Structure 1
Amino acid sequence: MDKDKVQISISKELYDKALKFIKEQGGFNSVEELVEFLLREVLTEEEHVELSKEDEEKIKERLRALGYI
């Protein structure tokens, strides 16, 4: 494992939903890549100016598709 990476665990159900999302929507090569993207987006969101309503809705739609909300 890369020294700059750590291992995390998620439920099998959530992993399967993420894998299904990748297969249907594309844009990511692995669940790891998707999770890293989502975490980066959520954690850096606080550093950015407020999102437009349209951007906020797009994020909510993606999170719903992944089963987060």
Structure 2
Amino acid sequence: MVRRPQGERGRYTTVSIPTPLYERIRALIAGTGFSSVSQFVTYVLREVVSDMEKEKAQSAVSEEERREILERLRSLGYI
């Protein structure tokens, strides 16, 4: 879980989306547990950002792994 600095708790910004998309989301969430389009969009964005962060972390090569790869390439005569 990512912790926000104390001064950022409860602070929001405005993000613009096309009106037709807003209306589609509003119709989609009718009768669900989401009380607003903003709440739904925040939920979706958190999920997407979390997935992207996980993907990025999994694809990152550590410095130790980098050294091991270079050593293997040296021992095979590629570098």
TM range, smaller chain? 0.5 to 0.7
> In the aligned structure 2, how far is the partner of 1:6 from the partner of 1:34?
15
Structure 1 unmatched ranges of 5 or more: 50-69
> In the aligned structure 2, how far is the partner of 1:20 from the partner of 1:39?
19
Amino-acid identity (%) = 32
Whose RCO is larger (CA < 8 A, sep 6+)?
1
Q: So what's the TM-score if we normalise by structure 1?
A: 0.59
Which of 17, 27, 32 is the matching residue for 1:10?
A: 17
Distance 1:32 1:45, change over 3 A: same
* Runs of 4+ in structure 1 over 3 Å off: none
Structure 2 unmatched ranges of 5 or more: 1-8, 56-79
After TM superposition, the structure 1 = structure 2 runs for residues 1-69 of structure 1, keeping only pairs within 5 Å, are 4-24=11-31, 26-48=32-54
How big is the alpha-carbon RMSD for the aligned residues of Structure 1 and Structure 2? 2.1
> In the aligned structure 1, how far is the partner of 2:43 from the partner of 2:11?
16
Q: So what's the TM-score if we normalise by structure 2?
A: 0.52
Cα shift readout 1:15-39 (whole Å, capped 9, x = no counterpart): 0000000115x12000000000000
Secondary structure of residue in 2 paired with 1:46: helix
> In the aligned structure 2, how far is the partner of 1:36 from the partner of 1:9?
13
